[in-house]
Copies of this chain bind each other. A is one copy, B any other.
């Protein structure tokens, strides 16, 4: 059960509600986000929600029995939108985020930002803290890389999405990051999720490499229940028995996530298939399936990229994809 509180609720009203809950032996968590106040309630038995609907300070009462609650569509039927800045509101149109796997050097950043500007793409992706299976692989330029990235984006008001790997990085990253990405390997790094719940910036939460849809929603619940409701879910392929490509993109997950949650869903076709030639069609198919946006890898010369080159588009392919996304949007709106 979720009790949605009036934003102007006073402390006496809140106390009265929690007292009533205690009398009914219902445990509850108070949650305050950027936009709203809630009491998330836990009750093992069926409960008459009308008992609370009339209490002063209560906006609405919703019955939610899922393991995840605040992120569930059972109480919030409209899709959430996220205001990134004055000019970017997620889910009004397909969001496109593009950029290299890793931030490498100034030339790469300059060219990539130009490519985005030319194509009217507003969000740059680029890793500076890189989780790598091997300790000997390239692990990113770190915070200096982020600052450099930021210096190229700022003049054009390009927003930055980049991966954060641990709690202690958040503070130093904060001035330079617009969207914090949680990578697949950290999808159940609960300390990190908790910490991002206290940050007032959107979080792009990737599904774990073998994470279930329910686990992804519960991970999102971690962030939301700590106070940050600006969350985007990201399908990026799962691990299966098939190995003729990198990951098995779970296109079903897009629809199921949209059915179960009010949060936006972003597709990552680059990791989803891991083969450059197949990225563009997969991006388009994801949008047809209902994704609110795509994030993909693009690089001035993918063959020379320090990581993920085989799944990264070059600028010409990216130009083409953006044009197709634009056309597809018109088609979908009129059908």
Contact = CB atoms under 8 A, between A and B. Distances in A.
A194 B40 CA distance: 37
B241 A135 contact: no
Nearest to A330: B331
Contacts of A4: none
Contacts of A226: 135
A166 B191 contact: yes
B136 A42 contact: yes
A210 B213 contact: no
Contacts of A242: 212-213, 238, 250, 252-253
Contact of A248 (B132, B134, B219, B250): B250
B136 A165 contact: no
Nearest to A320: B335
Number of copies of this kind of chain in the complex:
4
Contacts of A255: 273, 277-278, 281-282
Given A240-B241, A245-B256, A135 B218 contact: yes
A251 B255 CA distance: 14
A72 B289 CA distance: 30
Interface in A211-235: 212-215, 218-219, 221-222, 225-226
Interface residues of A, number: 72
Contact of A212 (B185, B186, B241): B241
B221 A134 contact: yes
Interface of A: 29, 40, 42, 67-68, 131-136, 139, 165-168, 185-186, 188-194, 209-210, 212-215, 218-219, 221-222, 225-226, 238-245, 248-253, 255-256, 259, 272-273, 275, 277-278, 281-282, 284-286, 288-290, 324, 327-328, 331, 335
Given A167-B168, A238-B240, A288-B288, 6 more contacts: A67-B134, A131-B188, A185-B189, A209-B210, A248-B250, A284-B289
